[in-house]
Structures are given as structure tokens and as C-alpha cells.
Structure 1
């Protein structure tokens, strides 16, 4: 999915719709149980870290023997971080809170992944 998100096939309109749907999902979940600011910030940081890991992975040459191992780490490190964060959530409404954690992590990814492609109109 990350490859599609970063590809040219994923237009700005698709990215905007996904961002809006994610925000709506987070809002609807927060009406039942709000996620604490600490968990929200940590989730956003995980998403931003995922983008940073991917950007670092693109800088490694294709013939480098560590390329494949690093591509595995790009998936494993954020996944382990999310699982750990979900494990320490309060037990009441854990599924709702886990959805918010995943949503905030994707928002963190969205923020950094769309920023380099911004076009500002100069008057």
C-alpha cells in the first residue's frame, strides 16, 4: 500500500479523500472514547517515522546487500511500535482506541508524504 501511496497513480484527490476519511474515522471513534494526547502524539510520531524510514531506504543503492534487510525493517519497526502502543492502551474500549492509534499514525504519514509534493502558486 505504501508503494501505491507514493506512486504517481495515487493522485492528490485520492490522497485528500483518504485523509478526510481517516479524520472522520478518528472523530467518530473519539465520540465513544477519546485517546489521550500522549498516545495521539506517539502515534503521529510513528507515522512520521515510517515516512522517514522509507525516505532513508530510497537513498540506499539497489545493489547494496543491506537493501532487502532495510526494506524489511521499514515495515517491522513501525509495526512493532504500533503493536506495543496498542498493547498498553486502557482495556475499556480498546478496539476504538486502537483504531484511533492507527488513524493518527496514518495521519502522521500523510502529513510528511504529501508535503514534498506541494505546489505553491506564486503571484
Structure 2
């Protein structure tokens, strides 16, 4: 999924539509119960960390023996962070809070993934 997001096949319009849809989903879930600011910040940080880990993975040489292990780390680490975050969410409306946490993690990824190809004229 990340490979498509960072590829040239994924246009800016598609990225914008996904960002808007994610924001709408977060808003609809927050009408039931809003996610606290601390959990929101942690979720955005997880999304930013996904982008940072991917950038580090691209810097590792293809023939490096640790390349495959680092690719696994990129997959497992954010999932474990989100699962840990979801386990400490309040019990009331946990599903709505979990959806918001995942959405804010996606927003964190979206924010940083747009900058490398951004041109400021």
C-alpha cells in the first residue's frame, strides 16, 4: 500500500481525495466521542514515524543483509504502536476512538509524504 502511495501512479488528486475522506471519517467518529489531544498527538506521531522509517529503508543498500529485517520492522513497529495505543483507549466507544486513532496516523503519514515532491514556486 505504501509503495502505491509513494509511486507516480498515485496522483495528487487521488491523495487529496483520500485525505478528505479520512478527515470526514474522523469527523463522523468524533461526533460520537472525540479522541483526546494526547492520543491524537501520539497517533499523528505514529504516522510520521511510518514515513521516517520508509525514508530510512530507502537509504539502505539493496545488497545489505539487514534490508529484509528492516522491511519487516517497518511493517511490525507501527502496527504494534497502534495496537498498544488502542489497548489504552477508554472502554466507552472504543471502536470510534480506534478508527480516529488510525485516521490520525494516516493523516500524519499524508502530511509528510506530500513534502518530498512539493514544489514551491
The two structures have a TM-score, normalised by structure 2, of 0.99
Alignment-derived partner of residue 42 in structure 1: 42
Deviations 1:66-115 (A, max 9, x none): 00000000011100000000000001000000000000000000000011
- Report the equivalent of 1:111: 111
Is 1:16 aligned to 2:16, yes or no? yes
Structure 2 residue runs of 5 or longer lacking an equivalent are none
Root mean square deviation of aligned Cα: 0.5
State the distance in 1 between where 2:104 and 2:17 align.
16
Alignment of 1:54-73 (within 5 A): 54-73=54-73
Gaps of 5+ in 1: none
- Using the TM superposition, give the Cα deviation of residue 117 of structure 1 relative to its aligned residue in structure 2, in angstroms: 1.2
**Post-superposition CA distance 1:30-69 (Å, at most 9, x none):** 0110000000000000000000000000000000000000
The alpha carbon displacement at 1:116 in A equals 1.4
- Residue-pair matches, total: 121
Question: Aligned-pair distance for 1:2?
Answer: 0.5
Structure 1 segments of 4 or more deviating over 4 A?
none
